[in-house]
Homo-oligomer: A and B are copies of this chain.
Amino acid sequence: MTAVSDQSDALFRAMRETAAAVDRRFNAVLLQSDGLEHRLMEATRYASIGAGKRLRPLLVVGSAQLFGVDLSSAIQVGTAVECIHTYSLIHDDLPAMDDDDLRRGKATVHKAYDDATAILAGDGLQALAFELLASEETHADPRVRVELVAALSRASGFGGMVGGQAIDIAAETESELDLGAITHLQRLKTGALIGFSVEAGGILGKADPYHREALRGYAQNVGLAFQIADDLLDVEGDPESVGKATQKDEEAGKATFVSLLGVDRARAQAKYLVEQALEHIEDFGEEASLLRGVARFVITRDK
């Protein structure tokens, strides 16, 4: 028990430190303004600072640790991923998309400000993600920086997150998805960005193909486990602790892992996926303890 609670302590400490470091980075790069753009910058800071679990930056930090990469590089890349993740939440919450009022425990950006500001805040955050990656603060080697840009742009574009979101919307009206189709959708919609976050440590650390393959295996399993946990929270979670509306999938008549498998089998499947994830990174030894902690956390979290 002591060993387990020590592990949890270490994980929660890493989570707090990563979240604080990402906040500092956002605070430094999202400048407040007293010009006419002040409302946009205020809204962007409102959405970006002090919000979210910072799970993706934590995955960057965890994978960077495997290869002795500087923490400051990992935080820079983690902040870039969080730019993409945050912009996607802002846009997804718009009335024209999911029309949500609550996100990360507070009013969504278009509710607290307005739709135009929310669209622009998202657009600006996407550009900022690539500006951060291209900066020399990310890594001294331009080869590494451009590889990060290539990987993040692929993960967030038509062949990744944006494509997944389009499939998700189309599925509501056009067809009933089966398990294979939902797996494909989630690999794009949430899996691609989680995959990038894990891969990023390997890119920063110039890892060899064998280690990169191990990271990919870990990421695919953690990504799906994360999504099943999200579906379970939507069914069982309380909006107040989850920080966003729940029961949305059922109301929308959406097929999910939980609606297709049932709660018990979905939970068992998530647990199995986490075990698979852990196997992929077995060879890494002690350095992988953070990635192990995150994998276990993904299915035990309550938000």
Contact yes or no, B146 A119, CB < 8 A:
no
Contact yes or no, B143 A130, CB < 8 A:
no
The one of B91, B116, B149, B158 that contacts A44, using a Cβ cutoff of 8 Å: B158
Contact yes or no, B120 A94, CB < 8 A:
no
Q: Which residue of B lies closest to A158 (CB)?
A: B124
Contact yes or no, B127 A36, CB < 8 A:
no
| Contacts A158-B44, A174-B36; A97 near B123 (Cβ below 8 A) | no
Q: Is the C-beta of A162 less than 8 angstroms from some C-beta in chain B?
A: yes
Stretch at the interface among A5-13, A164-172, A291-299: A164-172
Contact yes or no, A128 B150, CB < 8 A:
no
- Chain A, 95-118, contact with B by CB distance < 8 Å: what is the 0/1 string? 011000000000000000011110
Residues of B within 8 A of A44 (CB): 158
Residues of B within 8 A of A170 (CB): 36-37, 39-40
| Contacts A128-B153, A153-B131, A156-B127; A120 near B166 (Cβ below 8 A) | yes
The one of B36, B123, B135, B152 that contacts A175, using a Cβ cutoff of 8 Å: B36
Contact yes or no, B126 A127, CB < 8 A:
yes
Residues of B within 8 A of A156 (CB): 127
A39→B150 CA distance, assembly (Å): 25
Interface residues of A (CB under 8 A from B): 30-31, 35-37, 39-41, 44, 87-88, 91, 94, 96-97, 114-117, 119-120, 122-124, 126-128, 130-131, 133-135, 142-143, 145-147, 149-150, 152-154, 156-158, 160, 162-163, 165-167, 169-171, 174-175, 181, 185
- Kindly list the 8 A-B residue pairs having the minimum CB-CB distance in the complex, ordered from nearest: A127-B157, A96-B115, A131-B153, A40-B166, A134-B150, A124-B162, A36-B170, A36-B167
A128→B91 CA distance, assembly (Å): 18
Integer count of this chain's copies in the complex = 2
Contact yes or no, B169 A157, CB < 8 A:
no
Residues of B within 8 A of A116 (CB): 96-97, 169
13 pairs from A and B in contact (CB 8 Å cutoff): A40-B158, A40-B166, A40-B170, A87-B123, A91-B123, A96-B114, A116-B169, A120-B165, A127-B158, A130-B152, A131-B150, A142-B146, A145-B146
